[in-house]
Amino acid sequence: MRPSRPMALAAVLLLTGAPRLAAQAPPRTFTLPGGLRVMLREDQGRLLFRARLRLALRPGDLPPGKEGLADLALRMMDRGEAGQLSPAAFDRALDEGGIRLTRTLSAGALTWELVSRSRDQDRALGLLANRVLRPVLDPATLEPERLACWRDQEAALASPDARLRTALGLDGPPPATEQGLGQLTFADLETFLRRVLRPERALLVLEGDLGLEQAKALVLLSLGTWTGAPLAPEPPVPAAPAAPPPVRIPAPGEPLRVEAAVPPPADLDPSLRDLVLLLLRNDPRLADLLAPDSPGGTLRFTLRAPGQQADAALAALRDRLAALAGRGFTAADLDRARTAWAEAQRVRPLHPEAMLDGDLQEADGLAPRSWAVGAATPGALNGALGRWLDPARIRWAIVGEAAGPRP
């Protein structure tokens, strides 16, 4: 009997690894004496240089009651000197080279993303190093920045959609609160940055027209002096909070909808995570319910229920998710998912940013492994789905105008 195509593919995956490996050379890695890990994706002839510096956040870094700590610290960094450069001079230096530097704060990391013309790569990495290694916080800016931070937060949460995203935990760590910001001291900010801006927590990914030796020289020149001073013991890790009760978000004039969001379990095998995502996001029966994409692999469900009572709509969505959690993926489903996953690896090189994201995942051991994709079983897949959709982990929100009383 001839093996079917998916079975053959699974065998190939098990034996040879992902097709990506055949198409794209894996990044090369090195570590600086200070502990900074570097991954290089060399691409000869590329006219752009990209870098991504990620600093891991640990659960104890953002203690409860100090919501807004990371936001305010990053604002203070932006408004303070970077090395010898004043904030205005720093911004001018970026613009003079057409260099784009952005930062993002997610639940698990601070990330700086850098894009420049290849010819400006030295200057670009030097500026990034100034920003991260040599920030000078000015105590005089604390109060104005605290106020500005709160006002920005208020303005950002003026829209129902932003409140919804916050309620569903889709926008990184818990947002700044007036009380949390009010309690932060200058020392808190310094301690936070000292704890987080450390080479052993950092991972730098580079992509561009530069070889290994050139990359080593470049990184040594910019970041070679980065060392972390001894630290006090890590603060105790707070227990993960249980999912809060449903949040009600008024949105005058908008028809009622109920939303649910649930991130993948932290300890879920990345290969199973990707296979479940592929199957759910490409399930025609969920097309009206499941958002096609949301950050960090979070599943976001929306049930539109115009004219209904909120509690009835909430119950209806709970029932649908319970039914979904209990469904059984079949061996045929798994085969299709394996094929799609393997083929999708060939499409990834069309997106340089996605390749860098993949490298970051790889470094953290969070990237799916082709052998694990090949070895997945329907039982493991269904177990993963059940754990993912555990009702205790789901966040709920009710948006818009309901016909009946509040639940």
Partner 1 sequence: MRPLAPLLALLVLAPLRGQTPGAAEVQERRLPNGARLLVVERPGLPAFHATLVFRGGRTEEPTNLAGATDLLARALYGHTWPEDVPDGDAATPLEALLKQEEGLQESLRLERLRLKADPSAPSQAAGLEAGLQALQQRVAALQSSEPLSDVYARAGGRQSAAAEADALVADTELPVADLELWARTETRRLARLQLSRFFEARTALIADLRSGQDQGLALLRGAALPGHPYGRNLVDHIPGLEAIRWSDLRAYARRACGPDRLTIVLVGGVGVETALPILTRTLGALPAPEAAEDPVLPGLRSDLGDRRIQAALGGTSRLLVGWRIPARNQPDHLALRMAAQLLDGGRTGRLAVRLVQQKGLATRVAIRMDEPGAREPGLLTIDLWPAEGHSLAELEGALHSELLRFQQEALSPEEWERAEAELDTEQLLAEDTPGRLARALGRAWTESGDWRSFYSEAQRLRTLEPEAVQAAVQTWLQPAHRTTALIEPAFLAGQDPLEAEMAQTLRTLAARRIEDPGQRERLVAEGLRQLRMLPLEERRRTLKLLTAQLPPVAK
Per rule CB under 8 A, is residue 19 in the interface with partner 1? Answer: yes
Per rule CB under 8 A, is residue 378 in the interface with partner 1? Answer: no
Per rule CB under 8 A, is residue 97 in the interface with partner 1? Answer: yes
Per rule CB under 8 A, is residue 5 in the interface with partner 1? Answer: no
Q: How do beta strands 202-208 and 257-262 pair?
A: unpaired
Nearest to 72 by CA among 15, 151, 2: 151
Q: Quote the CA–CA distance of 335 and 378 in Å, as a whole number.
A: 9
Using CA atoms of 63, 64, 70, 71 in order, give the dihedral in degrees to the nearest 10.
-170
Check: CB of residue 32 under 8 Å from CB of residue 226.
yes
Select from 178, 200, 288, 319 the one that contacts partner 1 (CB under 8 A).
Answer: 288
Select from 7, 31, 139, 151 the one that contacts partner 1 (CB under 8 A).
Answer: 151
Q: How many residues bind partner 1 (CB under 8 A)?
A: 63
Select from 81, 91, 171, 357 the one that contacts partner 1 (CB under 8 A).
Answer: 91
Entry field: residues in the chain: 407
Pick between residue 18 and residue 184 the one whose CB is nearest to partner 1: 18
Return left, alpha or beta for 98; rule: phi > 0 is left, psi -120 to 50 is alpha, else beta.
left
Select from 138, 152, 234, 319 the one that contacts partner 1 (CB under 8 A).
Answer: 152
Per rule CB under 8 A, is residue 320 in the interface with partner 1? Answer: no
| Cα separations in angstroms, 275 against 10, 115, 332, 341 | 13, 32, 13, 7
Per rule CB under 8 A, is residue 17 in the interface with partner 1? Answer: no
**What is the DSSP secondary-structure string of 1-33?**
-PPPHHHHHHHHHHHH--HHHHHSPPPEEEE-T
Stretch that binds partner 1, among 66-74, 220-228, 277-285, 378-386 (CB under 8 A): 277-285
Q: Which two tokens stand for residue 324?
A: 């979904």
Per rule CB under 8 A, is residue 143 in the interface with partner 1? Answer: no
Per rule CB under 8 A, is residue 396 in the interface with partner 1? Answer: no
Residues 337-376 that bind partner 1 (CB under 8 A): 337, 339-352
Q: Which two tokens stand for residue 34?
A: 């200070």
Per rule CB under 8 A, is residue 48 in the interface with partner 1? Answer: yes
Stretch that binds partner 1, among 10-18, 129-137, 146-154, 372-380 (CB under 8 A): 146-154
Pick between residue 5 and residue 194 the one whose CB is nearest to partner 1: 5
Q: Which two tokens stand for residue 279?
A: 């199957």
Stretch that binds partner 1, among 212-220, 260-268, 280-288, 313-321 (CB under 8 A): 280-288
DSSP 178: H
Stretch that binds partner 1, among 29-37, 308-316, 333-341, 381-389 (CB under 8 A): 333-341
Pick between residue 177 and residue 282 the one whose CB is nearest to partner 1: 282
Pick between residue 166 and residue 198 the one whose CB is nearest to partner 1: 166
Q: Quote the CA–CA distance of 395 and 381 in Å, as a whole number.
A: 23
| Cα separations in angstroms, 166 against 172, 177, 367 | 8, 12, 26
Alpha-helical regions (H) of 36-141: 69-79, 87-96, 121-133
The least CB distance from residue 34 to partner 1, in Å, is: 29
Catalog residues that contact partner 1 under the rule CB under 8 A.
Answer: 19, 23-24, 46-48, 88, 91-92, 94-100, 115-117, 148, 151-152, 155, 158-161, 251-255, 257, 278-280, 282-285, 287-288, 304, 306, 329, 332-333, 336-337, 339-352
